[in-house]
Amino acid sequence: MTIIINKQAASLALLSFVVFLHPLHVCTVDTNQTSPRPPAIIVFGDSVVDPGNNNAILTMVRCNYPPYGKDFVGHRATGRFSNGKIPSDLIASQLGIKEYVPAYLGSELSAYDLITGVSFASGGCGFDPLTSQLVSAISMDGQLNLFKEYKEKVKAIVGEKRAAYIIKNSIYFIVTGTDDLANTYFPTPFRRFEYDLPSYINFTVQSASTFIQKLYHLGGRRISVANIPPIGCLPSQRTLAGGIERICDPTYNQAAMSFNSKLSNEAQRLNGTLPKSRIRYIDMYTPLLDMILHPSKYGFVESKRGCCGTGTFEVTQTCNSLTTFVCEDASKYVFWDSYHPTERGYKILMGQLTQRYGASIN
């Protein structure tokens, strides 16, 4: 997809960029040190960090309609799978880069949009290529191809030397893998014909490792990869596998923990083998599980159902303003729909991660 850059906007963006890179601009990582603010945040993954790329492709996995975006600026349904901001927005805002990370596809991006970072994420994708194929999402390799195109656009805007600086010093944020287990392995027979569960987990972790190495060879150095959440406690999975009482399914959660353990070990191994890189493993499982199991501790009143509809199965097309009821105050819910947290849920989650990993998550 061709992205048109207005010449006047590009000139203003370049002027802003010069100011942006002034050495006085730093971000506080903790009380004892500071580090240069990264020039951009570049995002890969699934619906957790898709700000609207799926709007531009032929897929059923979309949410560019109300009530999605209910609490977003202007109450706009941008394609973010929540009622408001998503984790990539919160990280970019926290770093002082910008308030929102735009989708690479589907809208006209200014020079400033591009040089400060975009998201290539596509709702429904996974490390397993089949996961993307099942719902016509952009695969992780497809996202890397878009990244290659993006690099050329950045080079055309700021020149080869500055583009190399941006690519090297940006933060790369990867969030995917949930759909591999929740939507591909457990509910469909395709991979279960080929793999038992431990073998499939090994396959997806190796796919994750391959992706990180490809990203490294394309210039990424500060790479954060998030683990997958307690999928057995997602409202939709409680409905599908939790029985009449909709309990957290232990098999699903154990599978997530096994994947996470292996991913953590692989991230540590890559840190020792990829020169001048920092591969950081981000644990989202533990803090999110605590929010789900102890909602009142965080000021929530509901963690077993989403805000949209009955909250037990509604997601994407079944969460809509025509056929479903929407709760009045989403901030009281951990989950927005049956699969994705609310903006407040994400804010608390990212706050927990900041305390553990530092302001930059990398």
| pLDDT for the residue numbered 37 | 87
DSSP per-residue string spanning 127-158: SSHHHHHHHTPPPHHHHHHHHHHHHHHHHHHH
| pLDDT for the residue numbered 34 | 52
β-partners of residue 37 are none
Find the DSSP H helices in the chain.
7-20, 87-95, 111-115, 129-135, 140-158, 160-169, 178-179, 197-217, 235-241, 250-273, 285-293, 343-357
Q: Is the dihedral of CA 127, 133, 134, 137 positive or negative?
A: positive
| pLDDT for the residue numbered 308 | 96
> What is the Cα–Cα distance from 249 to 232, expressed in whole angstroms?
4
Q: Could you list the active site residues?
A: 47, 337, 340
| pLDDT for the residue numbered 338 | 97
For residue 216, what is the DSSP state? H
> What is the Cα–Cα distance from 77 to 65, expressed in whole angstroms?
5
Phi first, then psi: what are they for 52, rounded to 5°?
140, 10
Query: Running along the chain, 362 residues long, what does each successive block of 10 average in pLDDT?
Result: 38 37 35 68 98 98 97 96 98 95 96 98 98 98 98 98 98 98 96 97 98 98 98 97 96 98 98 95 97 98 97 94 93 98 98 81 68
| pLDDT for the residue numbered 295 | 98
Please report, for the chain, the start and end positions of each structural domain, with discontinuous segments joined by +: 37-285
Q: 333-335 and 302-306 as β-strands: parallel, antiparallel, unpaired?
A: parallel
pTM of the complete model:
0.90
Give SS3 for 171.
strand
Give SS3 for 224.
strand
Token pair, residue 195, equals 């793999």
In residues, how long is the chain? Answer: 362
For 37-285, CATH number?
A: 3.40.50
Burial class (CB in 10 A: 0-12, 13-18, 19+), 322: exposed
| pLDDT for the residue numbered 7 | 39
> What is the Cα–Cα distance from 116 to 41, expressed in whole angstroms?
7
| pLDDT for the residue numbered 11 | 38
| pLDDT for the residue numbered 360 | 57
